[in-house]
A = this chain, B = another copy of it.
Amino acid sequence: MTDSMTFRSDCPVASALDLVGDRWTLVIVRDMIFGAATFGDFARGAERIPRNILANRLRRMTVAGLVRQEKYQARPDRFRYLLTAKGADLLPVVQALSLWSAAHLGHVYPPPDALLQAQPADLMPGKPDA
């Protein structure tokens, strides 16, 4: 703690949005849910997130404790970005968003079963697939 993070209020809704209320953060979480982990994985996503924004978001998410870095190579240091429990628990938010889109936005493809049936615990490393 002593995050230095400031929240607009003590409201749980507003506070959550202070952390994930932007157009990219949950897109990165979505990619992680589907197995993306490296900088390049995210940069290659369908929405073409700008690389500077991506670097910035990964930094904020790490500071916020949504994500942790795991070094997979040294010289130069390279990291895999993995969801923490805090980050994995955003799964219901992502699921709710995708169900809403499926119900109300005509142009989207249906949320994959892998997304709808996932559970936060599935998203954390240490437990490979069953």
Contacts and interface: CB of A to CB of B under 8 A. Distances in A.
B11 A108 contact: yes
**Which bucket holds chain A's interface residue count?**
35 or more
Contact of A92 (B12, B100, B105): B100
Interface in A1-48: 1, 7-18, 20-24, 26-27, 30, 46-47
B89 A12 contact: no
Contacts of A8: 23, 46-47
Contacts of A99: 12, 92
A109 interface: yes
Interface of A: 1, 7-18, 20-24, 26-27, 30, 46-47, 86, 89-90, 92-111
